[in-house]
Amino acid sequence: MPRVTEIERKKFHSILDAAIDKMNRPKNANKEHWSMIPAYKLFKLLEIEVKELDLEVAFGCTHNTLEECYDVINIAMMIAYNTELFKNDS
């Protein structure tokens, strides 16, 4: 059995799409583009989002828990996108 089943892969893609949709919400329209933010600042933002997710999980999972997961996913993707290795792959 593969580590990630086809059903899980489809669900992961669905989660990723929801995270990306969150980035495209109107409230984020005027934020600086992540390609202009240094990795160390993105990492600090990631630490904040992980702490927020930690609080959500500690106090019982709610709708906000999923929203915090999206934030963690998005910032991790921004860091990956900004790395030289990833840029050279595209």
Mean pLDDT of 58-80: 93
Q: What are the extents of the domains in the chain?
A: 6-89
Other beta carbons less than 10 A from residue 90's beta carbon: 5
Kindly state the DSSP code that residue 31 receives in the 8-state scheme. S
- Who's near 67: CB < 8 A, 6+ residues apart? 22
User: Is the predicted pLDDT of residue 33 greater than 70, yes or no?
Assistant: yes
pTM above 0.75, yes or no: yes
Reported as a pLDDT band with limits 50, 70 and 90, residue 1 is confident
Q: Is the pLDDT of residue 76 over 90?
A: yes
